Amino acid sequence: MSQGRGPEAPRFPLWLIHPLGPVFRHLPLALRRHLLYVRHHRRWGNFKNPERYTEKIHWRVLNDRREMIALACDKLASKAYIRAIAQNDPRLRTLRIPAVLWTSDRAESLGNFLRRTDISVVVKPNHSSGRYAFISTRDRSDALEGIDALVSHWLRRDEETEVLGHWGYGEARIGVFAEERVGGDGSRLVEIRCAAFAGKPDSFVVTTDVYTRMQTTEAYNADFTRMRIGFPTEIPIDRPGALASLSEARKEELRGIVSAISAPYDHVRVDIYDDGAQFWFGELTVYPSGGALSYTEDVERARGKLWQLPSANEVAASQRRQNLPADVWLRERDQTLHASAAALAAING
């Protein structure tokens, strides 16, 4: 069973001062974000009037409380959103969505499901990021031994909300689901992370052999010309990449998919899988790497310029909702999440 368990804190005594330790999470959110920014970028971030791309990610963490942010962080809700807009948008007619085969808020029921099925699945928490378990037909018996404990650990709020302050994950429904594995067992997974701004694709970061030690990365501009992005796993820019053989028709198909999905968002990353014949929806990401990844200064400035943050009125309206009595807010939140796919479909035209 291949799995991602999320970040792990270092051992004592470094644990005491680490962001995942016992103290950091109790600091004011703004201070936490500034300290994280300095830790990753070696400079003080401008979060009041941000210009760099990573600064704007931190601005979103501190300020953006719109429902569309919560929807993107709820994996099952985002799938519903894609299905809703696909009904009326021909650009999405070829996009596949992995079938959800099981979902629950109780760990023990997953073992029962796995004993009844013999297909390869991916298990994920609905309300978090970076956590997954690939369970193949070959390692089913081994997976059954530890999967309940793993899932029990997932069925709680984690560092996404408690430490990093990623509000959207705190609004997502707590639960775990299993979906079909794209390509089945032994497939060479190609993930395309598509950054888009207000419905316009800007770049495509492609990872091959994803979730393995052999993974490599390559980056492309909106016109599919190679560019340097500065990641440690990036292959030389003159080396043929995974998208080199992609036909013009499939490139246009990919652009259309990303444009349709990202239209309501000032910025979102649309994660797509390619099995060589079809594109599959992965997930939406509104806090790309939590703003922790380092980019070249050219990329920082260019993406920062493209990202037009929501207006002060939009932000104020979303934050006023947080002042509602807790029971009213929770009720409206659940109603919003159930209706959000249709609402965003209307926004998308």
Distances (CA, A) of 117 to 41, 96, 229: 46, 22, 42
Residues 92-120: tens digit of each pLDDT: 999 999 999 999 888 778 888 888 888 88
Torsions phi, psi of 127, nearest 5?
A: -120, 25
pTM above 0.85, yes or no: yes
Contact, 211 vs 227, CB < 8 A?
no
- Lowest model confidence (mean pLDDT) among 145-154, 209-218, 305-314: 209-218
Contact, 165 vs 28, CB < 8 A?
no
Which residue from 25, 206, 178 is spatially nearest to 115, judged by alpha carbons?
178
Residue 2 CB-half CA count within 13 A:
16
Alpha carbon distance 154, 125 (integer Å): 6
Alpha carbon distance 76, 99 (integer Å): 11
- Lowest model confidence (mean pLDDT) among 15-29, 66-80, 98-112, 327-341: 327-341
Alpha carbon distance 40, 294 (integer Å): 7
Measured from the Cβ of residue 39, the count of other Cβ atoms closer than 10 Å reads 10
Q: Which residue has the higher pLDDT, 299 or 211?
A: 299
What is the predicted pLDDT for the residue at 284? 97
The CA-based dihedral angle spanning residues 59, 64, 70, 75, taken in that order and rounded to the nearest 10 degrees: -20
Phi and psi based region of residue 327 (left: phi greater than 0; alpha: psi -120 to 50; beta: remaining): alpha
DSSP character at residue 89: -
For residues 69-104, one letter each, b for 16 or more C-beta atoms within 10 angstroms of the residue's C-beta and e for the rest, the string is: bbbbbbbbbbbbbbebbbeebebbeebebbeeebbb
Q: Which residue has the higher pLDDT, 143 or 94?
A: 94
Alpha carbon distance 142, 294 (integer Å): 38
Percent of the chain with pLDDT over 70: 89
Average pLDDT, the chain: 87
What is the predicted pLDDT for the residue at 315? 79
What is the predicted pLDDT for the residue at 321? 62
Residues 120-129: tens digit of each pLDDT: 899 999 999 9
- How many residues belong to the chain? 349
